[in-house]
Chain A
Amino acid sequence: MPSLGPDMEAGTLLQWRIKPGDAVKRGDIVALVETDKGIIDVEIFSDGVVDKLLVSEGARVAVGTVLAQLNGGAAPAHEIIEAVPTPPVTPPTPATSAPSVTSVSAAPAPESHRRKISPAARARARELGVDLDRVAGTGMGHAITIEDVLKAAQAAKPAVAEPAHDMRQIIARAMSRSKREIPHYYLSLVCSFAKARDFLDRYNATVDIESRLLPAAVLLKAVAQSAKAMPDFNGFYKADAFKASSDVHLGVAIAMRGGRLVAPAILDADQKSLPLIMTELRDLATRVRAGHMRSSELSMPTITVTSFAEEDVDFVIPVIYPPQVAIVGIGSVRERPWVVDGQVRAELTVPISLAADHRVTDGRAGSRFLATIRNALQAPEQL
């Protein structure tokens, strides 16, 4: 049973999509699992042939339980070991030497200080949220291998809490824990959205209907960029310490039918173009509503945005989703009174609020964070 989030202890195997004898490829959806967060597609990370299904449909089992065996048991079930949402950290960039002008080909190659991490280990670490900086390599030339990542993931497995029985309960527990443990502080700032609107109108005039950008894309990108610029708001607070993430996986709170709520991540949102963010957002929304999310998306967010941009809400005062340390609330985008040069006029605005963890940052940093978001919205073409 894969871990799909820090608070997940168990899941119900709703439906198998495979049977013994089936050949499976990495990335295949092999089962549907009902979790407290909804029905989630379980993807497999190994190729092979299904040998045995060890858990029957309808059974509820703890995270880490082996669900099925591949290849006569030859392949370890390590692809379903519990995930821990510690973000991977990009290794230091290689040192470079000044290029030789006269004989480029003869210049000695700069010695690489890049850590040796196998491609598969890097991918696995990302899936499991393992911080590669904390993993010692035991492969050839001290490279970090899959096994190293899996060991690190297991070592970092959080203590088991009492089982949760439905999504409301898990949200309840997460929110209670948040309010109990996290000293929130709140700030808000109304920002002009006029320039962003102009930009969107201009852009949308050049593309077909399906490719049009919604305000959410600009807002999400602005938050992601700001989180990248101010890493104190992007990361996890665990074991009495904050660990910033160098990657920005932006959680987007999406309401599901039946009063349920999830916040899957747009991975590396700061690196993605607006059209790509838009595409992914649409895709996420579709899949969330259909109940099909990928485990990696649910376990990854480093900061979350909860948006009411198209609702009738002025100020959002959100609750941080632990172990994250910040959440950005977005109120409705609409015209509000706006004073420019002593004159009041109607301006398209959006109220942006921040709830942040006082153990990590304080209000001054928070206000700079909001200002960074505002500034980003004033130069949308640079997003």
Chain B
Amino acid sequence: MSALPTREHGLHLLAEMLRIRCFEDRCAELYSAGKIRGFLHLYNGEEGVAVGVMQALRSEDDIAGTYREHGHAIARGIPMRSIMAELYGKLEGCCRGRGGSMHIFDRERRFYGGNAIVGGCLPLAVGLALGARLTGRNAVVVCFFGEGAMAEGEFHESMNLASLWRLPALFVCENNYYAMGTALDRSEAETNLVTKLSSYRMRAESVDGMDVLAVEARARELVDYVRNERSPAFLEARTYRFRAHSMYDPQLYRSKAEVKEWESKGPIIGLTQRLKAANLMSEADFLQLQRAANAEVDEAVAFAEHGSLERVEDLTRFLYAEQPA
């Protein structure tokens, strides 16, 4: 069991997770209403991982993620309205409405997507770390990916390279036990993911991803290690997604009972119970956080609704960099 936080930090962690949960639930609704299109992969249930890890990062650190990255973007501090406008395909979105749900980028906050090809963010993170090393920045690169990516060649190539070159990268595997519809034991010969890393001589640990405090503690430890030792590390966060893989998924591969059971162990419920049990938070506090999160999402939706569309004449703009080298 992880150590208790201060009231202030506890409420902060809870608020962050509620913001994400609220945002994701609203996205599901807006998707059903046709306001958001394309593929939509929601982060419900996994909030503890993004929120926990982000606590350990500084503004100079780099982040790369997957197509299920709303939570990471919110936890990194990208304004919710900018993300929602992106999901609406509006010019005011963080990528002018060009990327949508799967491709959130915010260069200023060193948030490098938003990659929709499984495993695609891993080599990119290796490169960001190499770049940090070569340019002399004392930055850590954190790469989020699912356990499904560990079956890809790109994962193994990236681990080897990062370790061989001792690059400052933390690889955070969000193990939610299903690669889309394929259960871990149907996709991995070795289901102990930490064991797999031993062949790369990389420090590797595992944490309960449903415990945001534990995630934060372990992330701080590993980020310090990466920053100070200038060596990569691997962190498995065991978690679960409460919603379907994407909006179009009948979930034939898992039972409702299984989902129910995991929901009862969710990161928000868990932290709420602990804070209340320790008298660090009241029900009124909780409702206040929830209202605030809802209000922020309301504002983001209104902002997105009132957003504008990019001019069609700009279609080919940015195909090539506008600033010369």
Asked if the two chains touch in their complex, CB atoms less than 8 Å apart, one says: no
Measured CB to CB, the residues of A under 8 A from B are: none
